[in-house]
Amino acid sequence: MPAGGDVLDIPPIQVRRNSGLYGYERALCRVGLGPVAGADEAGRGACAGPLVAGAVILSDAKSRQINGLRDSKLLSAAQRERCYDEILAKAVAWSVVSISPEECDRLGMHVANIAALRRALLRLDVPPTYVLTDGFAVDGLGVPGLAVWKGDRVAACVAAASIIAKVTRDRTMDELALAYPAYDFEVHKGYCTPLHQERLDANGPCPTHRWRFENVRQAAAKTGNLTGRTRLPAAGLMSES
């Protein structure tokens, strides 16, 4: 069943092992399912800052391929910035959306994650015919799609989306570091690292922390700092990771 909920008569699609990062898009386009969009998120596992999702449609023309394109987690910050600029210059279409910590608390992380991916895909200037997502199927798109395990490592459009999301979120965390200097957000980007936990235990949460996370609530109880506590619904008193 396609991710969009539509049943289509799709001919068998073969992706050759040696077809490279653009193999999925090329195979889908060969059977008339282009343009193909990829979507991915950044920040799902962080306990502070926004959840950011990107969506990208790439051209398979060799002159418009992205040099050094890989999963964002396998690139240095400088490499991601270079790829980011090239993606924006060469992509057929791209979009990015941010889900605030408040909305993450209200929805829960999984629902917020799917919502972010859906919003990013629906905001593309060029409507896709098929969608590839990293790990999670996304419904409500009106087009078929496929959730690909480690999609950011096997599909170019998903890798590009991961870079758009990661660079956008990292820039936001750098800005939040200036607003809340006690937490060193520019270093750990809001993820649950020992340094971040140390700052949480010393200061309690700030307005950009997510109260769905157990470590945030524990730090709040320890310090008596209840910043943001009122936005967590009573039904949401569960651990998130």
pLDDT, mean of each 10-residue run, the chain (241 residues): 45 60 88 94 97 95 85 91 96 97 94 97 97 93 91 91 97 98 98 97 95 94 79 47 38
CA 181 to chain centre: 25
Question: What was the pLDDT predicted at 232?
Answer: 60
Which tokens sit at 75? 């690139």
Does this model's pTM top 0.85? My answer is yes
Structural domains of the chain in order of their starting residue, each with its CATH number: 23-175 (3.30.420.10), 178-236 (no CATH)
Cβ–Cβ < 8 Å for 164, 87:
yes
Q: What is the pLDDT of residue 240?
A: 45
Q: Which two tokens stand for residue 207?
A: 């307005």
54: β partners: 40, 96
In one-letter notation, the amino acid at residue 34 is G
The answer to whether the peptide bond before residue 35 is cis (omega within 30 degrees of 0) is yes
Q: How many CA atoms lie within 13 A of 94 on its CB side?
A: 25
φ/ψ of 167, rounded to 5, equals: -65, -45
Entry field: residues in the chain: 241
The DSSP secondary structure of 87-117, one letter per residue, reads: HHHH-SEEEEEEE-HHHHHHH-HHHHHHHHH
Is-contact 38 94, C-beta < 8 A?
A: no
Distance CA 66, CA 68 (A): 6
**What Rg value do the Cα atoms of the chain yield, rounded?**
19
Residue 229, pLDDT score:
63
